[in-house]
Amino acid sequence: MDRIRNFNLETTRSFLKKGWINYRPDPFVHAPETFSQAKEYYKMLVKFRKVLDPNLILHPGRLAIPWDSVSDLPDPSKE
């Protein structure tokens, strides 16, 4: 399992350098890497999610919302 996670992490970092953003990120692999580099994109997702799902009942944690449910890194929407 660690090899798969490491592969996902390595490819995510590589593709992010080329401008790629995963539209359906794994909350524990892709999301922290992607959203820490694409802060405005994450802020938009948080706002959009608040409108459509204010109680966070649909797929909780899937889009790394709330952020602290998936990462100890600084929350990109607060920067």
Model-wide pTM > 0.75 = no
- pLDDT recorded at residue 79: 73
- pLDDT recorded at residue 18: 93
Residue 42 domain boundaries: 2-78
Decide if pLDDT at 7 tops 90.
yes
Decide if pLDDT at 62 tops 90.
no
Segment 15-46, tens digit of pLDDT: 999 988 887 888 888 888 888 888 898 899 88
Of the candidates 3, 65, 4, 76, which has an alpha carbon nearest to the alpha carbon of residue 34? Answer: 76
The structural domain count of the chain equals 1
